[in-house]
Structure 1
């Protein structure tokens, strides 16, 4: 890697660690790989801390860590980095297998899924004209977290759609059949899937998210992605919207919510939003997790009365 590629690669790893781990988890993870750690780091940013510590290791270890974290464009030690631009960093990666005739509706579904921190691959929308489309599809299949197959008349006869499902089955990835006039068959014949007939695009997107949360293969990954999207929100409204999604669930592991609290401390915009913190604390109370502490006027007065 040249210097610029290395800086960008470190940023991707740092972003992924920030969305998935606490400071203590990062240190434990780094020590397991022989990466240096620092007890008193001057900044309260897991992303910056990760980048600084990883800047001291060689490329081979960076490639190993990136591959272990399942970062989309992580190369291995014997290849040069392959640029994969269609996945949004930190988001859950969902491959949407569909017929070309259904590309418009599939593209709309792709947009609806972003609400749930799901970055989805739609071949007809995401492949750059200058690239070999087969190579791009293979790259997406190799780096996806799950696959959703939009089953409709003609899907079974499409060699490409059928191969995409077979690829996912071979990787033991979660496959979500979306029934749009065709029932699951073959490898996915035993999976009931999502009935999409007479449903809106938003309802199908919500059903996909619910399926990902329920599956042991994808539950933690999608919850970490949604937590990361909350902590990286650029407006309080965006953060509140995604907090309401977490609140709608029945069960969230405590460690994920505690990690979310730590992540939010890095976002001054959210920490200064009374509405966001109120919504966050309502959600935390539902799952019996200690609320985020906010600074009130009485606390400010106490600081003002301290000797200078």
Structure 2
């Protein structure tokens, strides 16, 4: 599929930024790259900047643009389209961690409940037939979800194994190299993804499965801050003791809080009376504080 003008502009802009700001891209190296693609080279003695790298690549074809972008940025060619898609996808909620939830269609109601639980923790779980938009080819949307996911989770019920669709989704995750996780419910996965000892989910309800996935996502450095920021914001704005308790329970599953995040949690405890004065929030947070040898109840922050 041809690149849109928006896509071409985005790729070119990023290449210009790298080539002009990275000291490794000398005139000699830049001209070697341009010459390789049959493009006009830059005069190193042109002090007025009358002809630049951006001028040279303005008419480059799509295939060469993707390949050159890969050489300049280090992004693998097969992942360039995924990177483009990540910037603009109506299938995903903005700002949420994008997790593709692979499952057997027979259990889509249960998986939908898991996704709903994850949503309040800043994780958008793609669930086929729930996430997809109307009047759009369903297979195209599944492929788009697989191209743009940031992480992959398989919930392996017995019906998962004979499903060609589920196995293809696993193949996408392995091929793209995104973080991946499996919950056995209770079946063991097969193939390459089966070589890891995955947790057993048999007997878990949807809230427990969601908590298991949340704990895993929160341990991935590129996602942990995003998750914690969302949870702390939700806890700060909780308007009743039920919401405060539910959010506090999710915060309590995260064992990667930074010193600054601990300080913020202390401050929220005293700033929101639904947290500091709510029995459900207390019940959830106290074991977290004790487990990390933190003072309970937290000391009131000293104002500057």
Query: Is the Cα contact below 8 Å between 2:224 and 2:256 reproduced in 1?
Result: no
Alpha carbons 1:90, 1:225 under 8 Å: kept: no
The question of 1:183 aligning with 2:182 is answered no
Indicate which of 175, 197, 208 corresponds to 1:170: 175
Q: Which residue of 2 aligns with 1:113?
A: 118
SS at structure 1 position matched to 2:160: coil
Kindly provide the CA deviation profile for residues 221-268 of structure 1, in whole angstroms up to 9, marking residues without a partner as x: 433332343345455642443234323544422233456689x6xxxx
Q: Contact 1:177–1:191 at 8 Å: present in 2 too? A: no
| Change over 3 Å in CA distance of 1:223–1:145 after alignment to 2 | farther
Residue number in structure 1 paired with 2:90: 84
Q: 1:273 maps to what in 2?
A: 272
1:140-219 alignment runs, 5 A limit = 140-216=145-221, 218-219=223-224
Using structure 2 for the length normalisation, give the TM-score: 0.56
Work out whether residues 110 and 122 of structure 1, in 8 Å CA contact, stay in contact via their aligned partners in 2.
yes
Q: In structure 2, do the counterparts of structure 1 residues 113 and 77 end up closer, same or farther at CA, with 3 Å as the change threshold?
A: closer
- Which of residues 137, 146, 158 is equivalent to 2:142? 137
Distance in 2 separating the partners of 1:197 and 1:233: 32
The worse-fitting range, judged by mean Cα deviation, of 273-282 and 155-164 is 273-282
TM-score normalised over the length of structure 1: 0.55
For 2:195, what is the secondary structure of its paired residue?
coil
Q: Secondary structure at the match of 1:183?
A: coil
Contact 2:184 2:201 in 1 (8 A): yes
- Relative distance call for 1:257 and 1:155 in structure 2 (3 A) is same
Q: What SS is found at the alignment partner of 1:125?
A: coil
**Number of residues of Structure 1 aligned to a counterpart in Structure 2:** 214
Pairwise mapping of residues 1-308 of structure 1 onto structure 2 (< 5 A)? 82-87=88-93, 89-216=94-221, 218-231=223-236, 233=238, 235=240, 237-258=242-263, 273-277=272-276, 288=294, 293=301
Change (3 A) 1:165 1:260: farther
1:58-80 deviation line (CA, Å, top 9, x unaligned): xxxxxxxxxxxxxxxxx99999x
Question: For the pair shown, which has the larger CA radius of gyration, 1 or 2?
Answer: 2
Query: What do residues 140-165 of structure 1 show as CA deviations (whole Å, max 9, x unaligned)?
Result: 22332321112133423333222222
Give the Cα–Cα distance (whole angstroms) in 2 for the partners of residues 177 and 250 of structure 1.
20
Extract unaligned runs of 5+ from structure 1: 1-31, 33-74, 265-269, 296-308
In structure 2, do the counterparts of structure 1 residues 153 and 271 end up closer, same or farther at CA, with 3 Å as the change threshold? same
- Give, in whole Å, the separation in 2 of the partners of 1:256 and 1:199: 30
Structure 1 Cα separation of the partners of residues 84 and 174 of structure 2: 27
Q: What are the Cα deviations for residues 43-99 of structure 1, in whole angstroms up to 9, with x where unaligned?
A: xxxxxxxxxxxxxxxxxxxxxxxxxxxxxxxx99999x8451442x43333211112
State how far apart, in whole Å, the 2-side matches of 1:201 and 1:156 are: 21
**Is the 8 Å Cα contact of residues 155 and 184 (structure 2) preserved in structure 1?**
yes
Give the distance between the partners of 1:168 and 1:256, measured in 2 at CA. 32
Distance 1:189 1:77, change over 3 A: closer
CA RMSD of aligned residues (A): 3.9
